Amino acid sequence: MRLRLPSRISIRLLLFNILLVFVPVAGFLYLGVYEQQLLEDQERSMVQQGRLLAAALGEQGELSPPIAESLLRRLDQRTEARLRIFGRSGILLADSSRLGPRREEPGSEYARSPVKARDNLLYKVAAGLYRFYRRLREPSVDVRSGAPHREPYPAAVVAAALTGRYGATVRPTGGERWRPSITLHSAIPVRTGGQVVGAVLVSQSTVRILRELDQVRLDVLKVFLGSVVVAAVLSLLLAGTITHPIRRLRDEANELLDRRGRLRRRFGGTHRADEIGDLTRALEQLTARLAAHQQTLEAFASDVSHELKNPLASIRSATELLGEIEDPDDRERFVALVQREVTRMERLLTGLREIGEIDARLETEAPTIVDLDSLLKEAAEGFRRRADTAGHGVKLVLHAPGEPVPVRVRPERLLQVFENLLDNARGFSPVGGTVTVTLERGATAAVRIDDEGPGIPETHLDRIFDRFFTYRPGEPHARDGHTGLGLAIAKAIIEGYGGAIRVENRGEGGARFEVVLPGGG
């Protein structure tokens, strides 16, 4: 079985959705800034505690161990930081760590020691990848912690405070190899009467902050991985609803044509209400139109073959007999027959070329605004000249509004339509009959051409605009002078401009052709 690779659309959707999931990763970057802010806040809190304690000690006068220890006991061991009080000579007078473990406030969130996130397997894997990344990026950087300081307290910071200055330092706590915690030390001088009588050292480790930040990182990592899984599943499901129908359309498109390039099937229908459903229905309509056009071309080719077959057969028979006939009158008659059939073939080929040009060029010809009232008057004048020349005595009556009726067409094309329709009406009208042309203007422009002929049999009404169809009762040689393409050409032109042409029999006798064109105003 052939392994089907994911489609390009599926891969793009998956990458796009996973890219969106990377947004939470920005939280890791922000946590670094957040950690720095927490450390700064912790230092300010330590300084504030030291100042309050130094202010309370400054009211006691000369410092002594009992006074310093008594003041620390009043705090009831509820401070987060370790407090140490030093005398004027730098001797340690009291230490909060010697008074017992720190007490938690009832209901405090800190009463529950946070679980170490670094013991989680997922955290260890992520931390290992991060350390590997840092080694690749900065090979000279050692991500392990340095050795912790063994001094009980930073003497330099205390000495700075005893001179009246604020002292601060940061020391690694140790214990964690990847990102060790640190201990902040802040020393504040104790003044009495303007004299420095001691110092308060506030020390606090950042281990709690780091543990809580590690827990946040672990939670963000879990959310990220879960989001990646959900995004991948949803992307695959979404891609399946898109790529599967597109693959089906592709397979159907590959099977549309046979080896000779003929359309052998159509796109299947669909009930989808999305854009793919719209595309499928559009392709279905397209193939239906192509199939209809293919059938039209095949029927047209068959009709052309049939129409050319008859005159060619007559020409062939006449030329074969010419070699055997010696009577000059008979020879002249057969030569006239050949000439008549050749003329008929020329008219057929001229009509075929004309209708082919209409089908090919009508879409590319730029239409212009034409006054239909003036164009009908021009067609009527041409009709009268041809009628006078033929001597049929057929009259034409034009009913027009006498004002411009704009339509968007090519004037020579539309004039050809009305000339064909008027000649057709004249041919069926009796001697001395009347052809009536009526122009009506509304949302569309409508032209009716009525004759007083015998009308059209009901069985022929649906075929009247077919190519090569002609019906002229009472004319034994009607096909000699008519190709049956005039009405087909008129229909092709009118429908090419978005209009319609239809025919019906009049109640009072005769036929009525109606042309409807969209307004060009």
* DSSP per residue, 256-294: SB-TTS-B---PPP----SHHHHHHHHHHHHHHHHHHHH
CATH assignment of 263-361, among 1.10.287, 3.30.200, 1.10.10, 3.40.1000:
1.10.287
**pLDDT for 446 beyond 80:** yes
**pLDDT, tens digit, 9 for 90 and up, residues 229-258:** 877 777 777 777 777 778 888 887 887 777
State which of 47-51, 136-140, 178-182, 278-282 shows the largest mean pLDDT: 47-51
Whole-Å CA distances, 435 to 5, 114, 429, 486: 72, 104, 8, 18
pLDDT of amino acid 193 = 81
Phi and psi of 245, rounded to 5°? -60, -35
* DSSP per residue, 281-334: HHHHHHHHHHHHHHHHHHHHHHHHHHHHHHHHHHHHHHHHHHTT---HHHHHHH
pLDDT of amino acid 109 = 45
Using alpha carbons, select from 216, 212, 272, 217 the residue that is nearest to residue 246. 272
Classify residue 327 by burial, with Cβ atoms within 10 Å: 0-12, 13-18, 19+: exposed
**pLDDT, tens digit, 9 for 90 and up, residues 482-494:** 567 778 888 888 8
Using alpha carbons, select from 321, 344, 345 the residue that is nearest to residue 333. 321
Average pLDDT over residues 210-239: 77
3-state helix, strand, coil in the chain (%, to 5): 55, 15, 30
For residue 476, name the pLDDT band (cuts at 50, 70, 90). Answer: very low
Residue spans per domain, the chain:
26-101+108-223, 263-361, 367-521
**pLDDT, tens digit, 9 for 90 and up, residues 24-40:** 666 656 666 777 787 78
Assigned CATH for 26-101+108-223? 3.30.450.20
pLDDT of amino acid 25 = 61
pLDDT of amino acid 32 = 66
Classify residue 178 by burial, with Cβ atoms within 10 Å: 0-12, 13-18, 19+: middle
**pLDDT for 156 beyond 90:** no
* DSSP per residue, 411-474: HHHHHHHHHHHHHHHHHHSPTT-EEEEEEEESSEEEEEEE--S----GGGGGGTTSTT----TT
Distance CA 315, CA 335 (A): 9
Q: Are 172 and 150 in contact (CB under 8 A)?
A: no
**Which superfamily does CATH assign the domain made up of 367-521 to?**
Histidine kinase-like ATPase, C-terminal domain (3.30.565.10)
Phi and psi of 257, rounded to 5°? -105, 150
Average pLDDT over residues 427-442: 88
In percent, the amount of the chain with pLDDT more than 90 equals 7
Distance CA 181, CA 38 (A): 13
**pLDDT, tens digit, 9 for 90 and up, residues 68-127:** 888 888 876 677 788 899 988 888 988 888 877 665 555 444 444 445 676 777 777 777
Whole-Å CA distances, 305 to 72, 166, 211: 119, 112, 93
Same fold: 26-101+108-223 with 367-521: no
The reported pTM is 0.48
**pLDDT, tens digit, 9 for 90 and up, residues 115-124:** 567 677 777 7
The pair of structure tokens assigned to 235 is 């992307």
